[in-house]
Structure 1
């Protein structure tokens, strides 16, 4: 099996690489930043997700495309447009042209950042309510995924990735939004064997005791998270949270201006 991972030099890509390694599997890692610590079964291609010719080359022969490329936080509108939105179109078009059957798109909690925490579990799939230009880019990526699934027959999973980390850090809202690297890898593995056509919008989040999100859509495609932030609580963990706060938390305060760089 050949899995292409864009944005492989980033946080999520780095956490996934060792967890996706398997005998007989090749990981083709793509990023504009160099990756020097390749392991057996890994290939590296230095390329931008906005380069259609390059994306067609890296997608050729792939069984699964995991798209994590692009800016990973808020940026001025033009940068989101040129890299995140245009890049999303390019990778899906390349997957379509080269016959990649399955695509996992890295969306974000920020696609619904203005939803209140106590309202988040009301529906298995929340309607878009972005908190930033970055969030708007993720909403657009989800829409492109839906289009390419319906129009071109790709199996597409859009994963709204929550708070990623090997630990929960200081806690707080992370007790509800944490996703472990192991659970992210389980989502990739579920997507790699998914045979249910269409576009599937799921939460990439662990099975947290204090979780805010419905896991129903993920379970429907075979994603069964196993980890829980509750098992990582320490003496210094902040366990307070306002249930009426928005999902984005502090990312909508004055220290995180719209179109800023943070």
Structure 2
């Protein structure tokens, strides 16, 4: 087990799901942490940790908070697909403030990137070669675009200022896998903690990119720079429980798990936004709910065309149904013209 760092470590995004895990586990290993987030820290503050509520837009405040730190674990910012204006401030301007603080302190940056930065690559099928970290960026939305920008900023600060940085292309980091796609992308909490340990304590990292997933046999991803920091995952995802039975990685034509969409060929579903970019899922949801059902005379409800309810009854506020409906008409009836 690596020794605890001599200098404090700054952790941004400490109030998020992964930040809370890291705060708890790293302080248990004897690390001194400076936690920060825009939201209050929801858990009891661990020993050897302090918390400062701060916005990433506060560049001067971040410079002060990073004084004397040997590394910055940057897990802050927007973590889901959002409109560009929402992503711009925390994920672009905030990242710049983090790197400026690291440059001044000579600290190493550990950046929580994402596989959404390459999400429009096709899944390797059969004996096809897996994706290596030197593959081209193909972000699947504004969130993924901000993560690609973050990796490029790390490249720039290493080449121009000598700021070391380790970029984690995180797959799906949850307590346990919950859907078929996670057979390839799952990262256990224990592997995440060990990855952060290795990234902070490695003698030298330069600029490196690592596929942050556990040792999953069905992984989409191949070579990366993990040897530079001496990290090897130990966890493994072999099956996902589905009504008491293991569910293996889907192939083209397989049905998704209930409530989840398993895309057939790409790492993430292709959705339309004007010229072909991703539309925010949040912006799609209201229209799906509005089309889910329509009232019939007598108070009964009819499923949306070609769909059947996932459970008995189909309330109007439910998400769009998943299974084909044999009895439903193929087209919605037009409303009668007013007399």
- What TM-score results when the alignment is normalised by the length of structure 2? 0.71
Q: How far off is 1:187 after superposition?
A: 1.0
Structure-2 change in CA distance of 1:197 and 1:185 (3 Å): closer
1:258 and 2:279 matched: yes
1:116 and 2:122 matched: yes
Structure-2 change in CA distance of 1:144 and 1:79 (3 Å): same
Deviation sequence 1:204-226 (CA, Å, 0-9, x none): 11111111112542233211110
- Corresponding residue pairs, total: 258
Q: Which residue is equivalent to 1:180?
A: 188
Query: 1:68 and 1:23 mapped to 2: Cα distance?
Result: 19
Q: How far off is 1:247 after superposition?
A: 1.2
1:132 and 2:141 matched: yes
Uncovered stretches (5+) of structure 2, i.e. residues with no partner: 253-263, 284-339
Q: Which residue is equivalent to 2:53?
A: 46
Quick one: which of 267, 275, 279 aligns to 1:247?
267
Report the 3-state secondary structure (helix = DSSP H, G, I; strand = E; otherwise coil) of the residue aligned with 1:21. Answer: helix
Q: How far off is 1:23 after superposition?
A: 5.4
Query: 1:177 and 1:239 mapped to 2: Cα distance?
Result: 13
Q: Is the 8 A contact 2:216 2:236 kept in 1?
A: yes
Larger relative contact order (C-alpha < 8 A, sep ≥ 6)? 1
Deviation sequence 1:129-182 (CA, Å, 0-9, x none): 00000010000011111111111111101111110101101x301111000011
Query: 2:152 and 2:65 mapped to 1: Cα distance?
Result: 23
Instruction: Kindly name which structure, 1 or 2, has the bigger radius of gyration based on alpha carbons.
Output: 2
Q: How far off is 1:45 after superposition?
A: 0.7
Q: How does 1:91-110 map to 2 (within 5 A)?
A: 91-100=98-107, 102-110=108-116
Structure-2 change in CA distance of 1:215 and 1:8 (3 Å): farther
Report the 3-state secondary structure (helix = DSSP H, G, I; strand = E; otherwise coil) of the residue aligned with 1:110. Answer: helix
1:65 and 2:72 matched: yes
Superposed CA RMSD in Å reads: 2.2
Report the 3-state secondary structure (helix = DSSP H, G, I; strand = E; otherwise coil) of the residue aligned with 2:130. Answer: helix
Runs of 4+ in 1 over 6 A off after TM superposition: none
Q: Is the 8 A contact 2:183 2:249 kept in 1?
A: no
Query: 2:114 and 2:182 mapped to 1: Cα distance?
Result: 14
Q: How does 1:152-231 map to 2 (within 5 A)?
A: 152-169=161-178, 171-230=179-238
1:77 and 2:77 matched: no
Uncovered stretches (5+) of structure 1, i.e. residues with no partner: none
Deviation sequence 1:37-68 (CA, Å, 0-9, x none): 21111110100112111111111111110001
Query: 2:142 and 2:29 mapped to 1: Cα distance?
Result: 40
Q: How far off is 1:24 after superposition?
A: 4.2
Query: 2:218 and 2:30 mapped to 1: Cα distance?
Result: 38
In terms of mean alpha carbon deviation, does 9-18 or 62-71 score higher? 9-18
In terms of mean alpha carbon deviation, does 233-242 or 110-119 score higher? 233-242
Q: How far off is 1:82 after superposition?
A: 1.5
Q: How far off is 1:35 after superposition?
A: 0.8
Q: Which residue is equivalent to 2:96?
A: 89
Query: 1:27 and 1:134 mapped to 2: Cα distance?
Result: 27
Structure-2 change in CA distance of 1:97 and 1:20 (3 Å): same
Query: 2:115 and 2:182 mapped to 1: Cα distance?
Result: 12
- What TM-score results when the alignment is normalised by the length of structure 1? 0.90
Structure-2 change in CA distance of 1:120 and 1:203 (3 Å): farther
